[in-house]
Structure 1
Amino acid sequence: MTTDTARPVQLRYSARSEVNADALTSNVRLALDGGRGVVGVRGRVRDAALFRDTLMAAAAILQSDLRYKGKDRTAYLAYLMKQGKKATAAIWEAQKAFLDKSLDEDEKTTSALDPVLTVHPDEISLEVFSRDESAYARVAFASDLFEGREAAHGTTFADLSPDLIAQMDRLRAYGAVDLDAGVNVAGRGPAEDRSTSVPYSWLRGFLQVQSAATLPAVTCELSPVDLYNALYTLRTRKAKTSPRGLRFELVPGRAPRMIVEPWEIVLEGHGEVFRGAPRVVRTFGRQRLLTLARVLPHAKRVRVQLRGPGLPVFWIIDLGKATLTAAMTGWTESSWASVASFDALMPHSASSEAERDALASRLTGVLRERGPSGLAELAEAAGVKVDAVRAAMQLACLRGRALFDVAREVYRPRELFSDAIDEQRIRYGSPREARAHRLLGTKEAPGAGEVTLTKVHDVAGEGVEIHGQVTDLEARRAFTPHFTMDVEGRVSDAACTCPTFRRSGLREGPCEHMIALRLAYARKRVEEDALRQTEEGRQLIRAETRTYVRRDESGAETVFRVSLDDKVVYVQWGARSAAGWSGAMGAAPVEPRASVVRHQRIWFDTDREAREAYFRRLEDLASEGFVDADVASA
């Protein structure tokens, strides 16, 4: 592996981490990287069970890997040999050699950073990121959790090996637990100098997921029993059909409720009532929530932050003297579905790149002097607008210079490496993605091509079919990609007229024209959602379909689908469980009830009258307690 695709990292541990325990006392010796200066913490843990279970939850996320693993057919070949089949010893040995080489290369290419430990004046935090790039967790222990605390502030890497995790799982909650984390801990084994190469693709996910924390979000409050109900439902059932999402229904004045797909199991919330605009948000990647089960006995409150489509969902669990912040994405590895999501994480502002660089460096200096600070405090200290501070701090997070503490909504200084990471290396996941962005360009810099959406066709209950034309000005050619994207964001039935697709299809991944079309569609959706909030933007809408839902006390759900098509307004309504709605809403087929889906089609003399009637019907539904189900899908 070359430095073009990976960053070399040198780690130096004085010994291996370990746990020494006797009948009444346990001593956790955590070895830290000595190449980052004097950093460490020492003290007696006041709540051993909380300390153990929180670290074990973080370790579960660190070790999670939900990527598909192919079956090893070596044993089957051996069976064929015994049966006298055509599997010879040479084939068997070649198969074994190939598998050994593949596994060895896979281990090298999937190397990840050790957990990042940061000692702040007010807390100690540990950050982990799963190998499949789908889950991030930050554990923060309050300083008063440790009796007789001695600390040296800074950031370094911690040796959290599987052996240490197994030892910590056996910590006795009734005994005293002492923590000694430092660069010169007296652990077992000799000193270890470890050289590793961390793929930029892994760093990209690690830093961009944290950068997503700075984006605006919708927050809802849950009770710990609500999280327990969701985990129990997921653990006792296995979905065999799509969709497999976890849907949030947020109605003002009522506690949030969760709906588990595809069974449409309604989990009523017991937390604080929701205050905000009504919406329905569908999230994916719900199986990763099972890693949070270990901290449920200590949970005081649970907050969920929902961002834009495809962006991570942040779960903030208040554990008293500790906080667990987990970011769960809807994909496994940075796939095609995540391309449009990461595009939203890059800093955007009216200032030039040089001005953003200077402001980011200036604000990180302010953080080091003042400690944790919010956006308003940084804007006041720097004398600039909040939007400029947000873009600059997002850039600082991407460079590994700072992090956003989601639980307390403040920025903290955190130097991931001694030097800043070049954000250009982690901006794109592949050369094809870079070429796709080159075709699109930005508002500040026009692209080297033109991407046009020629047809966007909504397929009820299945997803959306997208056709487009991509003109490459440098190649002086035009291509016509198209694909179908289901309700979970997965892409199927994709094709393009370019030589790359004709040569290998999708075996080498999507071509740059498909990626550019995917990005153009995502940007168009964002622009349309912003435009339809203004009177000028509404005048441009000639065709649109919105779905509104309302659930009564018995759990029955009424669905209204209102469509505008030039001079016609078309309305469908009925019970969700009716046969006509089971496919339209993306749910699994269920037995129909007595209710019938009703239809109404209204013609108008002009498109202006039809548009006014369309929006008036939507406003009436909102006033009657119906929730817009098309607002967001995270």
Structure 2
Amino acid sequence: MTTATRHPVELRYATASDVEARTENSRVLLALEGSRGTVGLRGRVREPALFRDALAATLGVLASDLRYRGRDRTAYLAYLMKQGKRATAQIWEAQKAFLDASLQSEEQKDTVLDPVLTVDPDQVSLEVFSRDESAYARLAFDNTLFDGREAAHGSTFLDVPPELVNKVDRLRTYVPLSLEAHVALPAREARAPRNVEVPHAWLRGFLQVQSAATLPANTCTLAPIDLYNLLFALRTRKAKKAPRALRFELVPGAPPRMVLEPWELVLECHASVYTGTAPAVVRTFGRQRLAALARLLPHAQSVRVQLLGPGLPVFWVMDMGPATLTLALTGWTESGWSSAAAFDVLMPRAVPEGLSEKLRQRLRSEGPLSFETLVAGAGAPKDAVRAALQLECLRGRILYDIARGAYRPRELMPTPVDEAVIRFGSEREARAHRLLGDGGPGAGEVKVTKVHEVVGEGTRIHGEVVDREAVRSFFPVFTLDLEGRVKEASCGCPHFRRSGLREGPCEHMIALRLAYARQRAAEEALRQTPEGRKHIRAETRSYVRREASGQEQVYRVSLDGKLVAVEWGPRLGDARHQKLWFDTDAEARTAYFARLEELASEGFIDAASAMV
């Protein structure tokens, strides 16, 4: 990764963070970066057990890395050489050199920003982003957790040495505990400045996950026992084949259900009923990352889940009284190019001149404010205000506090991040957007020529990409499996012929993936309008509803010209059939959509959305 793709940051820590555990009292000493002005906090902790477990869980998210790592076979090759087996010194030296180069590049890739600590008038918060760029956590402590609280408001970076997690873990909860977080801790060893070059890809993931918090979502509430049941089921089972999703089934007026695939294990929730207006089913992936919440279960009072949609982040908000942990999980643990289409919707539209600065200044002067309060005093339409707030989130100057439902000022960097720099995850993704005509010279043309649904495997997508810079057309093809990842792919471009998918997909595949996602979104939006429905002459939809006994009732409704066919019954039982003929296509279409709306009002869920 070249210097041009990195953001240089100089970190000046006067001392190092540490934990002092004594028999009469304990202190957690957090060293803060000193170039951002006076920021700090001091106070005695009222609930040491809650403070210890919450801080340890958050630092655990920071250190987590679930990326696949290959095995080191150099020791085995050396053993074979001693035994006189077929393992030459050249093979051993070559593999050793390869591993040394891989580890060096891995260390460069793992260069990330230190956690961000923000002291507000009403709380102090800590933000972390995992090393595999798939989990974001924000831990907030209210003022009620501290006695004798003394604070200097602002945002800065926090020093977290590797041994700090173990030291926090060894704190004794029966001993009085105090917290000191400021620039110059007493009697500590001075340290030299440290230069960090943060990859733009890391900044992009960190800020776009925050920006995603402003998008509309389906929200449900779980009881702590529901989360315990989920974590217990994941711990005692291991899926050896796809799909490996955690599926949420949300029906208005009914408690939410969580379904673990591929076992179809149904977990009933007990907190409250779903209050949405329409049934919904959302599949999420990377569920093993939820193990980070296990330590906080004894302190949890309630758990709220915000589901943005397939491929978008999922937010888990754990309320622990004076402390709140917000855990955001990206669509997949491996945030590869399959999620490029999902993150594409996070970029804001055009923002009126001066609106972003006006909103930011108001937040700095008045403190945390809800979206409705900001709209009331902005003098601009809601869409413009939302786009301006989303833009400021991408610049790192404000954040959306999901737990409180309010925007807060927070300066991630001394200077705002240029959103144009983190617009794309790679050069190939930027060229893919150029092919789609999203700005820049050399716009091309991208067509989805065929979509083939392969039962039990996924969706095979064929396309044609006209690349005017290359003065030729390419015909990419790939298969999205049931978890939204690429299973098979091919393209005639030089990049794919040279390396296949070993170096990632070519720009033509990314462009086709984006075009397919946009086409599906446009078709679904058009389908909800009377004008769009007029063009539908043949269609089949399946709706399912899970009864209290656990059995699923399935309705299959088909429209074919003047005919409406209905098939219904239990999933594993005999089905009943009905055919209705009408005088005109319009009458049949009206009856078809009326039947679908009736099923939705009765709590049936569109089964097609469950496979997205």
Report the TM-score, using the length of structure 2 for normalisation: 0.95
- The superposition leaves residues 133-179 of structure 1 with CA deviations (integer Å, 9 ceiling, x where unpaired) of 11100000001211100111111111122211100001111111110
In structure 2, C-alpha distance between the alignment counterparts of 1:14 and 1:290, rounded to whole Å: 35
Matched, 1:88 2:88: yes
In structure 2, C-alpha distance between the alignment counterparts of 1:191 and 1:322, rounded to whole Å: 32
> Post-superposition shift, 1:608?
3.1
Matched, 1:426 2:422: yes
In the alignment, which residue of structure 1 is the partner of 2:273?
A: 273
> Post-superposition shift, 1:334?
3.1
- The superposition leaves residues 575-598 of structure 1 with CA deviations (integer Å, 9 ceiling, x where unpaired) of 33x3xxxxxxxxxxxxxxxx2356
In the alignment, which residue of structure 2 is the partner of 1:211?
A: 211
Matched, 1:399 2:400: no
Q: Of 371, 378, 381, which aligns to 1:382?
A: 378
CA contact (8 A) 2:478 2:487 kept: yes
Q: Which amino acid aligns with 1:425?
A: V
- The superposition leaves residues 115-135 of structure 1 with CA deviations (integer Å, 9 ceiling, x where unpaired) of 100000000000000111111
In the alignment, which residue of structure 2 is the partner of 1:56?
A: 56
In the alignment, which residue of structure 2 is the partner of 1:628?
A: 606
In the alignment, which residue of structure 1 is the partner of 2:98?
A: 98
CA contact (8 A) 1:437 1:447 kept: no
Give the length in aligned residue pairs.
Answer: 611
Q: Which amino acid aligns with 1:496?
A: C
- 1:239/1:86 Cα in 2 relative to 1: closer, same or farther (>3 Å)? same
CA contact (8 A) 2:442 2:468 kept: no
In structure 1, C-alpha distance between the alignment counterparts of 2:495 and 2:15, rounded to whole Å: 51
Percent of aligned pairs with the same amino acid:
65
> Post-superposition shift, 1:86?
3.0
* Structure 1 residue ranges without an equivalent (≥5): 579-594
CA contact (8 A) 1:470 1:517 kept: yes
Q: Which amino acid aligns with 1:33?
A: E
Q: Which amino acid aligns with 1:423?
A: E
Q: What SS does the corresponding residue of 1:186 show, helix, strand or coil?
A: coil
In structure 1, C-alpha distance between the alignment counterparts of 2:108 and 2:328, rounded to whole Å: 26
- The superposition leaves residues 523-554 of structure 1 with CA deviations (integer Å, 9 ceiling, x where unpaired) of 11222222222211211233444321111111
- Map of 1:540-559 to 2, 5 A cutoff? 540-559=535-554
In the alignment, which residue of structure 2 is the partner of 1:590?
A: none
CA contact (8 A) 1:29 1:186 kept: no
CA contact (8 A) 2:285 2:333 kept: no
In the alignment, which residue of structure 1 is the partner of 2:590?
A: 612
Q: What SS does the corresponding residue of 2:149 show, helix, strand or coil?
A: strand
Q: Which amino acid aligns with 2:160?
A: L
- The superposition leaves residues 212-263 of structure 1 with CA deviations (integer Å, 9 ceiling, x where unpaired) of 0010111111111101100010011101111111111111111111111111
In the alignment, which residue of structure 2 is the partner of 1:124?
A: 124
In structure 2, C-alpha distance between the alignment counterparts of 1:452 and 1:247, rounded to whole Å: 31
Q: What SS does the corresponding residue of 2:377 show, helix, strand or coil?
A: helix
Q: Which amino acid aligns with 1:508?
A: E
- The superposition leaves residues 344-374 of structure 1 with CA deviations (integer Å, 9 ceiling, x where unpaired) of 10002xx4x6x35x32222212211111112
CA contact (8 A) 1:567 1:607 kept: yes
Matched, 1:417 2:413: yes
In structure 2, C-alpha distance between the alignment counterparts of 1:462 and 1:606, rounded to whole Å: 38
Q: Which amino acid aligns with 1:449?
A: G
Matched, 1:520 2:521: no
In structure 2, C-alpha distance between the alignment counterparts of 1:79 and 1:472, rounded to whole Å: 52
In the alignment, which residue of structure 2 is the partner of 1:586?
A: none
In the alignment, which residue of structure 1 is the partner of 2:251?
A: 251
Matched, 1:471 2:466: yes
Q: What SS does the corresponding residue of 1:434 show, helix, strand or coil?
A: helix
Q: What SS does the corresponding residue of 2:10 show, helix, strand or coil?
A: strand
> Post-superposition shift, 1:607?
4.0
CA contact (8 A) 1:440 1:447 kept: no
- Map of 1:175-214 to 2, 5 A cutoff? 175-186=175-186, 188-214=188-214
CA contact (8 A) 2:60 2:165 kept: no
CA contact (8 A) 1:219 1:304 kept: yes
> Post-superposition shift, 1:629?
3.1
In the alignment, which residue of structure 2 is the partner of 1:325?
A: 326
CA contact (8 A) 1:15 1:192 kept: no
> Post-superposition shift, 1:401?
0.8
* Structure 2 residue ranges without an equivalent (≥5): none
Matched, 1:334 2:335: yes
> Post-superposition shift, 1:573?
3.9
- Map of 1:499-578 to 2, 5 A cutoff? 499-565=494-560, 569=564, 571-576=566-571, 578=572
In structure 1, C-alpha distance between the alignment counterparts of 2:605 and 2:441, rounded to whole Å: 38
> Post-superposition shift, 1:505?
2.3
Say what the alpha-carbon RMSD is for the aligned residues: 2.1
In the alignment, which residue of structure 2 is the partner of 1:220?
A: 220
> Post-superposition shift, 1:306?
0.6
CA contact (8 A) 2:62 2:130 kept: yes
- The superposition leaves residues 56-91 of structure 1 with CA deviations (integer Å, 9 ceiling, x where unpaired) of 111121111111101101111011112202323444
CA contact (8 A) 1:279 1:629 kept: no
Q: Which amino acid aligns with 1:321?
A: P
> Post-superposition shift, 1:333?
4.0
Q: Which amino acid aligns with 1:190?
A: A
In the alignment, which residue of structure 2 is the partner of 1:343?
A: 344
Q: What SS does the corresponding residue of 2:266 show, helix, strand or coil?
A: strand
- 1:523/1:65 Cα in 2 relative to 1: closer, same or farther (>3 Å)? same
Q: What SS does the corresponding residue of 1:436 show, helix, strand or coil?
A: helix
Q: Which segment drifts farther, 447-456 or 208-217? A: 447-456
> Post-superposition shift, 1:500?
2.6
In structure 2, C-alpha distance between the alignment counterparts of 1:504 and 1:600, rounded to whole Å: 53
- The superposition leaves residues 255-292 of structure 1 with CA deviations (integer Å, 9 ceiling, x where unpaired) of 11111111111111101111111111111111110111
Q: Which amino acid aligns with 2:313?
A: P
In the alignment, which residue of structure 2 is the partner of 1:498?
A: 493
In structure 1, C-alpha distance between the alignment counterparts of 2:456 and 2:587, rounded to whole Å: 30
In structure 1, C-alpha distance between the alignment counterparts of 2:192 and 2:563, rounded to whole Å: 73
In the alignment, which residue of structure 2 is the partner of 1:583?
A: none
> Post-superposition shift, 1:446?
10
Q: Which amino acid aligns with 1:278?
A: P
CA contact (8 A) 1:314 1:327 kept: yes
Q: Which amino acid aligns with 1:10?
A: E
Q: Of 330, 355, 369, which aligns to 1:373?
A: 369
> Post-superposition shift, 1:633?
7.0
CA contact (8 A) 1:309 1:632 kept: no
Q: What SS does the corresponding residue of 1:425 show, helix, strand or coil?
A: coil
